[in-house]
Structure 1
Amino acid sequence: MEQLERIYAPNYRPSVQDILHTRVPTTGVVQVQFTIKGCIFRVYDVGGQRSERRKWIHLFDDVNAIIFISAINEYDQMLAEDRRTVQKS
């Protein structure tokens, strides 16, 4: 709230900190592929909303490892699609 005046200024340009604090929920499946020492890696960023989860199963063919990342500060957050239910991350 203390930054509102700065952010709403007509000539506002986001700082590095402003950009780092921006959050955009993932919808769908975003894939990034890269190679390290001849080994191909595919990283998928998937949406966590209930409606997005059914898309995950199609990503598991030929998978060697799964790394699940969850924000530690969201343990007590409400679901976006049901504001009466706590997330089960």
Structure 2
Amino acid sequence: MSFLDDLDRLGQANYQPTEQDILRTRVKTTGIVEVHFTFKNLNFKLFDVGGQRSERKKWIHCFEDVTAIIFCVAMSEYDQVLHEDETTVIK
């Protein structure tokens, strides 16, 4: 069971998360997780890649013959910088 199985429910204007929705919101990604799903007769492949520096070199293999890339990030983390980025000044 995943969020992809419930896209119609999640897309409703009056959507309220269930207890299970809340429990499934965050899972640490290590490596590359590939999920295939169909929505409204369209086939999708979703790649969830880890953001850790050691995982980034694996990403390039996910982007062959790609039509679109969607980056999902937490809105509460817009002002965070990379730990290893020594050129960014933190105020």
TM-score by length of 2: 0.57
State whether structure 2 residue 69 is matched by structure 1 residue 66.
yes
Given residue 46 of structure 2, which amino acid in structure 1 is its aligned partner?
Answer: V
Cα 1:16–1:37 change in 2 (3 A) is closer
Map 1:34-73 → 2, pairs under 5 A: 34-36=37-39, 38-73=41-76
Deviation at 1:38, TM superposition (A): 4.6
Cα 1:41–1:76 change in 2 (3 A) is same
Cα 1:16–1:64 change in 2 (3 A) is same
Task: Quote the Cα distance in structure 2 between the aligned partners of 1:23 and 1:34.
Answer: 20
The Cα offsets for residues 11-68 of structure 1, whole Å up to 9 and x where unpaired, read as: xxxx927625x63321111111123455321001110011111110000111000001
Gapped runs of 5+ residues in structure 1?
1-14
Q: How many residues align?
A: 69
TM-score by length of 1: 0.58
Task: Quote the Cα distance in structure 2 between the aligned partners of 1:16 and 1:78.
Answer: 31
Q: Secondary structure at the match of 1:64?
A: coil
Bigger Cα Rg: 1
State whether structure 2 residue 41 is matched by structure 1 residue 29.
no
Gapped runs of 5+ residues in structure 2?
1-17
